[in-house]
Structure 1
C-alpha cells in the first residue's frame, strides 16, 4: 500500500521544472543539472508502479513546452533514461548513495550523448562543449535530491499513518 499522496510526485516535478527555468550567470549556465531527470529518476526508483515510460514521455513533452526546445526532444531523452532506470531498478535501489550518484552521472552523460545525436541528426545547432559538464553537477546533486525527496515521501507516509 502506498502511503503518500500522488500530488507529491507532481509537485516535485513542477519544482524541478521551475529550477530549470531559474536564470543563471553565463559563466555557470553550462553546469545547470537536468533537474527533471534527477527527480524523475528518483520516482522511477522508488515507485515504478506510478511512474513509468508513459509518464516520462508526458513529463518530457511538458518540459519541451516550458523550455521552448524541440518538441519531443526531452520526451525521448527522458523515455530513454526511464527505460534504463527501470531495467536496472532492482540493482539501483540497493546501491549505496555514492554508487547511485555515479550511476546517475553515467545516465546523465548518456542523456547528453542522446541530445547531441538528436541535434546532429536534425541539423540543429549543437550545445557548446562546456555543457558536457552538467552530468557532473547532476551526479554531485543526486545525494541531496534523493535525501530531500525521500524525506518528503516518508514524511507524508508518517502523517497519514
Structure 2
C-alpha cells in the first residue's frame, strides 16, 4: 500500500494532533479548529470519499482526545459537514476568499453548537472568546486549501 491510499486519513490524524497540541494560553485562545478545516477541504474536494460518516468517526476521536462528553464534537462536525456537503458544488465555484467567509460561518455554527451542547451538559457560560477560532480559521483557510490541494494533485487523488 502506498501513501496515496492513506493520505486523507493521515491529514485527519495530523489535524487531530494539531487540535490537542499544547500551546501557551494566549495563543491557544486563537487556535483554529484544524479538524473542521481539514474535513471541510476534503468534503469540497472529494465528497464521494469524505462525508458525514467520516465526520462522525473523527468527531468521536476528537471527543476522546479532548475529554468532552462523547458525541459533542461528532454532532457539531456532522452538522457542519452535512451543510457543506449539501452545497459543495456551489461552494467549489467560489473564490478561496469567498470560501473562507463560508468556512468562517460554518465554523461559527460548529463552535456555537458545541457550546450549546456543553451548556446543556455542564454549567459553562458563553464568552466572546469562544469565537476567536472562527477568525483564525478564516485566516488559515487559504493556506489549508493550498496545501491540501497540492497534496491531492501530487498524489492524484480522485
TM-score by length of 1: 0.91
Aligned partners of 1:154, 1:127: CA distance in 2, in Å?
Answer: 41
Aligned partners of 1:94, 1:40: CA distance in 2, in Å?
Answer: 18
1:97-132 per-position Cα deviation (integer Å, ceiling 9, x unaligned): 000001000000111111121122223424643121
Aligned-residue CA RMSD (Å)? 1.6
Higher relative contact order (CA 8 A, sep 6+): 1
Contiguous gaps of at least 5 residues in structure 2: none
8 Å CA contact retained: 1:57, 1:76? yes
More displaced 10-residue stretch of structure 1: 22-31 or 89-98: 22-31
* 1:111 matched residue in structure 2: 110
TM-score by length of 2: 0.92
8 Å CA contact retained: 1:119, 1:126? no
Aligned length: 155
Find runs of 4+ consecutive structure 1 residues off by over 4 angstroms. none
Alignment of 1:40-79 (within 5 A): 40-79=39-78
1:32-81 per-position Cα deviation (integer Å, ceiling 9, x unaligned): 11100000000101111111111110010011111211111110010001
More displaced 10-residue stretch of structure 1: 35-44 or 115-124: 115-124
